Structure 1
Amino acid sequence: MTGSEFELVIGDKNWSSWSLRPWLLMRQAGIPFTETSIRLRQTDTKAQILVHSPTGFVPALKWRGAVIGDSLAICETIADLFPAKALWPADALARALARSAAAEMHSGFQNLRREMPMAVLEKHPGVGQTEEALADARHIVGLWRGLRVRFGRQAVEDQGFLFGRFSVTDAMYAPVVTRFATYDVDLEALGDDGTVRAYMNAIMTLPSMQDWLRGAEMEETAKQNL
């Protein structure tokens, strides 16, 4: 497959958590694509997105004359198209739990999302840490720690991710990693013994994640120069 076969339409890199997920997965897997960015929170944002996707939302993957919307659907599509990339765990039980965790991120944790929106370039220590949001965070900390202990550390090729190698599940939770950093969430108070901190470091130091952060900085600089 050539790079021209895929066009990924995304929103601002500072804010668009749903855009980060498939972007990071494709970059981490070494799958080339054309990137089209739509500036969010503008009066014409919806109209600009509708040029590319009938849903009016980002991200959207344009492929073979079709548009695949929704982050998880895009990630699933990429995993199906590139089985050799092993973007889901090979073991059946691990794969089932990886899908379950990804789906939970897709549909859950509304309090955390609302109170601590993604803002990768910003620091807001203590902001948004309501009881409800911290309950979501505590659940995620327990989930990450459990998966790392049960699967990640036991993997033949443990690269520090939830199931050893980078997977769709890691891509789905990457925006939460940035949220915990932005809002300076006390991980130890939520039950971390260092496992979650190490996992977050593995995500944040990915070359592709660093590229996303640099892209966010460039976008914000461009906005200021308008």
Structure 2
Amino acid sequence: MADAQLTLSSRNYSSWSLRGWLLCRLAGLAVSEKMIALDDPDNRAELLLLSPSVLVPRLTHEGASVWDTLAIAEYLHELYPQAGMYPADRIVRAHCRSVSGEIHSGFANLRSALPMNLKVRHDRFPVFPGARPDIERVETIWSECLDGYGGPWLFGASPTVADAMFAPVVQRFLTYAVAVSPTSAAYCETVNSWPLMREWINAARREPDEMIELETEF
């Protein structure tokens, strides 16, 4: 039995749950998964006791309770530095932390205009103009990283925290047929073909189709 527990909500709709799960898998930490149905008042009340902000994912491990994705990344990196969650070079590692923090804290228009839905694929979709600057900024980040470090992942040959943080953005672009550059399209294919991503998507497709309306999930 795993000594760690990861509290998650919807696999299909929750970008934050996906990030936390990918981070644990990158670290090599075995976790038991606790799914919270946020539309159930009893479960919501339980989650309120576990995490005052009602945010998921939440990692419980050896007395620690960590419920923010960047905090989870840093916690796991401290425990498992050999896992390569961040690049070894100090300067490159700082770059990785910077772009991970940027996607974590910004891009509100992209989140609201293109909510994550792994079961859907649109041939075309009218993207809210206010989201365009966010999309352009994402592509700039990807281009700088892929050109600077050689790909196929953002920081070289292996996935890092940054790839886990941007994985939901990749899925949004694929779901809504967002037109991107060839470089971005190749990166989207890399992430979408990632065995961990395929495992998560397959599980998401088995979930009920009901949309959970919760602002923190975007």
By the TM > 0.5 criterion, same fold? yes
* 1:171 aligned residue (159, 164, 170): 164
Q: In the alignment, what sits opposite 2:10?
A: 12
Structure 1 residue 43, shift from structure 2 partner: 4.3
Structure 1 residue 146, shift from structure 2 partner: 1.1
State whether residues 125 and 185 of structure 1, in contact with CA within 8 Å, keep that contact through their aligned partners in structure 2: no
Deviations 1:167-200 (A, max 9, x none): 001101100000000111011xxxx2x2111111
State whether residues 38 and 48 of structure 1, in contact with CA within 8 Å, keep that contact through their aligned partners in structure 2: no
Residues 121 and 78 from structure 1, CA distance in 2 versus in 1: closer, same or farther, beyond 3 angstroms? same
* 1:212 aligned residue (162, 187, 200): 200
Distance in 2, Cα, partners of 1:127 & 1:182: 9
Q: In the alignment, what sits opposite 2:213?
A: none
Q: Given the alignment of the two structures, is residue 111 of structure 1 paired with residue 99 of structure 2, yes or no?
A: no
TM-score (norm 2): 0.89
How many residues are paired up?
209
State whether residues 26 and 85 of structure 2, in contact with CA within 8 Å, keep that contact through their aligned partners in structure 1: no
Q: In the alignment, what sits opposite 2:153?
A: 161
| Residue identity in the other structure for 1:182 | T
| Unaligned segments of structure 2, at least 5 residues | 211-218
TM-score (norm 1): 0.86
| Residue identity in the other structure for 1:161 | W
Structural RMSD (CA): 1.8
* 1:183 aligned residue (173, 176, 182): 176
Residues 49 and 133 from structure 1, CA distance in 2 versus in 1: closer, same or farther, beyond 3 angstroms? same
State whether residues 27 and 76 of structure 2, in contact with CA within 8 Å, keep that contact through their aligned partners in structure 1: no
| Unaligned segments of structure 1, at least 5 residues | none
Q: In the alignment, what sits opposite 1:199?
A: 187
Distance in 2, Cα, partners of 1:45 & 1:132: 35
Residues 28 and 205 from structure 1, CA distance in 2 versus in 1: closer, same or farther, beyond 3 angstroms? farther
Deviations 1:55-112 (A, max 9, x none): 3221111112231111111111111110000110111221111111001001110100
* 1:33 aligned residue (15, 31, 34): 31
| Residue identity in the other structure for 1:210 | R
